[in-house]
Chains A and B, each alone.
Chain A
Amino acid sequence: MDETWGRRSLRQLKQIANDPLLLIVILVILASLILFILYPLVKVITTSFLPEGKFSFSVFKEVFSSWYLRRAFFNSIMMGTLTALFGVGVGFIFAFTLARTDIPFKKFFHLIAIIPIISPPFIGALSIIMLFGNNGFISDHLLHLQNIKIYGFKGLLFAQIVTFFPVAYITLRGVLDSISPTLEDAALDLGGTRFKVFRRVTLPLAVPGIASAMLILFVETLADFGNPLILAGSQFPILSVQAYLQITGMYDLPKGSALALILLVPSISIFFLQKYLVSKKKYVTITGKPTSSTLKLVSPMVKWILFAVCLFFSLTIILIYASILWGSLVKVWGSNNTLTFYHFKYVFSVGFGAVKDTLIIAGISTPIAGVLGMVIAFLVVRKEFPLKHFMEVSSMLSFAVPGTVIGIGYILAFNSHPLLLTGTLLILLLNFIFRYVPVGIQSGVAILRQVDPSIEEAAIDLGADARSTFRRVTLPLMVPAFFSGLIYSFVRAMTAISAVIFLVSSNWNLMTVQIMSQVESGRLGAAAAFSVILVLIILAAIIIIRSILTLKYGRFGGTTLKF
């Protein structure tokens, strides 16, 4: 087997050698993937297993003998499981209601469900403190409750559901939209009751999507750092936060690495399980013209119940954002409601460095990640070379690895010569580029698989060499994918916290990290003002990128690519 693999690689290598530029690009990408994705992970493993230069389980023994850290592991898994269940439940109700009923304000509900995706993940936690905390608007002012226990299990679960149900909504909306309503019509026509049709037709068809959404939510919750840091409290330890505290609080690198590794194992296994499930059982995508939905599946009563549920969650989200906005504009949250721009002034004077740094870092890393994503997508879909599968898997790996693990890996890997990068701008840029490249790759791959290879062959046939074919034909065709990858990486770069909290320095700081430290020191107003500015920047960026896209590439109405 090895020999034939070797021979094939040799043949492919000979072909690539004809095109030195291609060879160089492939080598540079492979080297960077190894250095900036795999090497940090290897460092996490070696640091936890080789505490004194020798292989031993001592660190893990220590971790598992600690009651507190065992709790953290248990809590994280439980939180992930519950968020997966409830988040997918709410997401499914949203998706089903919007896809299969004719309730009013559908666009509004859709928009509300999208908003949490483009905001920093810890906004939920922040507003929960503002609403239900010790000085909370609802707990203290409306209900006059003292000592409501918002820190810990209940508060965190609520924040996680609000933060992550939109992810489930988007996945399941796609699934439900791809199930032709005529199947339901047919089942109704055959005499099924509405509930039976839902249970025996709609639900089974959606099951692969539901399972996939649950796994995604589990992994994301497990990896989440911002919400638990604010809300978990010391009574309810969470793995990602404990790993962070071991490193930054106790300077215990081996123990922090061991916790990161414990976090990594379930994340990666579930991630690949999800990939496997999705690849194995494709959702029933009925080909042919989308048939107009007749929306007969729900009775009027059920429809209005669903409407009420959606309305409740939408109002909750609105309440969250309203409280952030209100908090940024009043003098002291909970006690002095005088309107003031004090907090914004504070952000623009004291915190302006962080705003500028964030913009610089996101502004540089986003386009690089976008282009890199397109190049890797192109190589993976259109070229044959040895280690191609390795390139595909390792570049997608950062999807699965929790940010905390990556952050720890980076400080372990790049804190000594010749790779002394800690404290620099470069380490932040590299972290962002390699974490957010998978989205660009995914959308690039999806679009390239739709483009008939003979379109590129036609360009070559007309006399174009490899480079001008890529530049003049392939790249323009990938423009829509490039921009959607760009929006995603920009949003993620602006809202990231879990990895970068290890990598910021006094020279280079980020708004998300600033928000965290404002929350920790109790300056909720400043944290809220930072959050408002952050969300506004993201919205502005999305609008700008979108309008560039429609202005310059207006002909990509969507139909042009369906060749």
Chain B
Amino acid sequence: MSLKLVNISKIFKDPDHANKEVIAVKDVNLEINEGEMVSFLGPSGCGKTTTLRIVSGFENPTTGEVWLGDKMINDLPPNKRDTAMVFQSYAIFPHLSVGQNIAFGLELKGFKADIVKKEVEEIMSIMNLTELYNRSPDQLSGGQQQRVALARSIINKPSVLLFDEPLSNLDAKLRDLMRFEIRRIQQSFGITSIYVTHDQAEAMIVSDRIVVMNEGHIMQVGTPFEIYSHPVNKFVADFIGRVNFINGIVEETNEDASYKVGIGGKSKLITSSISPFSVGDKVLTVIRPESLSVSTGEQDSTAIFHGIVEKAVYLGPTVEYDIKIEGRENISAVTHNPVVEGVFKPGDRVNIDFNPAAAHLLGA
């Protein structure tokens, strides 16, 4: 079922200072399509978990409406909502066995014991949990607990599945594995899902669309590709991956939303999907480190910058550089073929350039 958030705001009262208010979520509007997996991504305290808890019913929004399909569900308590949550701490009932944990929801709905058992066995085999039926939760590994929590939610066939940083308690290797596992199961059941995380790689892997949040506001909604390649503001550009912001001035505007931007005496033709700029506007050119080309040798007069390598970190497949440019902030660059391109050392003079197609303009 589709899920719609309309003008959601949540204001907490500070318990110690009655007149002080903390805005957790502000004017959130979002529509999630049936079967879609959407990530809420942002630093801690950005309001992503609060929004998730508003959808699940554990928090009431101060203003706004939550729509599930064509029903407004603001007034439904969490136990009456057709949503299921996978908790950060898994929240497995420690006094029940794995099988009893997974059966919990169906038993509450009053299904007959044999039906419950059949359903539980089925979901356990899908989730590779079959041998664990009688295990007590304290005998499970982190990954197994994660699976049990997921199975316990999915068995109720919820309309919306909510993940609250589900992988943050797992070690790195297991996390990589479970990302794909969660995505696989979500897709095979086709459940509309929200996935809260502060890990951008995780968001990129599991989501159809990413919602970047900061200080309670939605910053940008888009596919992983859109978010990374065309961030709409400095926050998003900076939060997702590493980035260079290069100051420039608009010299010419064109019909097709491309602009001639003067950067340090040279100019580039760069497009922007943001508000239109006029001649003379100060702009930021957003360019990812991997989109820069770095070369050494003769000073290349066509290159946009000339700089001196300050730091070089050799990582095997890539080399990361910190390059000092006269009169500007340092630029970070990444090269991907060190064997052929060579590895530059601190102190080396280098030419830096970029393909304008990889760049993108923001207002300064």
Contacts and interface: CB of A to CB of B under 8 A. Distances in A.
A279 interface: no
A559 B137 CA distance: 10
Interface string A98-134: 0000000000000000000000000000000000000
A384 to B, nearest CB: 10
A468 B105 CA distance: 12
Interface of B: 13, 18-19, 56, 58, 77-80, 83-85, 87-89, 91-95, 104-105, 108-109, 136-138, 149, 152-153, 156
A457 B94 contact: no
B114 to A, nearest CB: 20
A457 B95 contact: no
Contacts of A364: none
A4 B14 CA distance: 12
B89 A563 contact: yes
B136 A455 contact: no
B91 A452 contact: yes
A455 B105 contact: no
Given A463-B156, A560-B137, A561-B94, A458 B87 contact: yes
Given A461-B58, A461-B84, A463-B108, 6 more contacts: A457-B78, A459-B93, A461-B79, A464-B79, A555-B136, A563-B138
Contact of B93 (A4, A458, A460, A479): A458
Given A463-B79, A468-B108, A559-B138, A458 B156 contact: no
A479 B94 CA distance: 12
A434 to B, nearest CB: 29
B18 A454 contact: no
Interface residues of A, number: 30
Given A454-B87, A454-B88, A560-B137, A463 B109 contact: yes
Contacts of B149: 458
B138 A560 contact: yes
A473 B108 CA distance: 12
Contacts of A459: 93, 104
A252 interface: no
A462 B95 contact: no
Given A452-B89, A555-B136, A461 B56 contact: yes
A476 B105 contact: no
Contacts of B105: 462-463
Contacts of A8: 13, 18
A62 interface: no
In this complex, the member of B56, B91, B108 whose beta carbon has the largest number of chain A beta carbons within 10 angstroms is B91
A563 to B, nearest CB: 5
Given A454-B91, A457-B58, A462 B104 contact: yes
A138 B105 CA distance: 69
A113 B87 CA distance: 45
A13 to B, nearest CB: 15
A513 to B, nearest CB: 41
A473 B93 contact: yes
21 contacts: A1-B18, A7-B18, A8-B13, A8-B18, A18-B77, A454-B89, A455-B92, A455-B94, A458-B152, A461-B153, A462-B104, A462-B108, A464-B108, A473-B95, A477-B95, A555-B136, A560-B138, A562-B138, A563-B89, A563-B94, A563-B137
B94 A560 contact: yes
Contacts of A562: 138
Given A468-B108, A559-B138, A560-B136, A462 B156 contact: yes
Interface in A457-489: 457-465, 468, 472-473, 476-477, 479
A460 B108 contact: no
Nearest to A557: B138
A459 to B, nearest CB: 7
Nearest to B19: A4
A457 B91 contact: yes
Contacts of B152: 458, 462
B95 A476 contact: yes
Contacts of B153: 461-462
Nearest to A452: B89
Contacts of B79: 460-465
A477 B84 contact: no
A455 B18 contact: no
Interface in A215-238: none
Contacts of A468: 108
Interface string A349-382: 0000000000000000000000000000000000
Closest 6 CB pairs of A and B: A4-B18, A458-B91, A462-B105, A454-B91, A454-B87, A476-B95
B83 A455 contact: no
Interface in A511-529: none
Contact of B87 (A7, A457, A464): A457
A477 B104 contact: no
Nearest to B84: A461
B95 A560 contact: yes
Contacts of B108: 462-464, 468
A555 B134 CA distance: 12
Contacts of A463: 79-80, 105, 108-109, 156
A120 B93 CA distance: 40
Contacts of A454: 87-89, 91
A465 B81 CA distance: 12
Contacts of A476: 95
Nearest to A561: B94
A1 B77 CA distance: 32
B100 to A, nearest CB: 10
Contact of A457 (B18, B85, B104, B136): B85
Contacts of A559: 138
Interface string A422-465: 00000000000000000000000000000010110111111111
Contacts of B56: 461
A413 B32 CA distance: 64
Nearest to B53: A457
Contacts of B91: 452, 454-455, 457-458
B74 to A, nearest CB: 14
Contacts of A460: 58, 77-79
Contacts of B93: 455, 458-459, 473
A273 to B, nearest CB: 25
Contacts of B78: 457, 460-461
B89 A462 contact: no
B85 A461 contact: yes
Contacts of B13: 8
In this complex, the member of A455, A461, A464, A555 whose beta carbon has the largest number of chain B beta carbons within 10 angstroms is A461
Nearest to A457: B58
A463 B108 CA distance: 7
Contacts of B94: 455, 477, 560-561, 563
A462 B18 contact: no
Contact of A555 (B87, B95, B109): B95
A153 to B, nearest CB: 51
A461 B83 contact: yes
Contacts of A479: 95
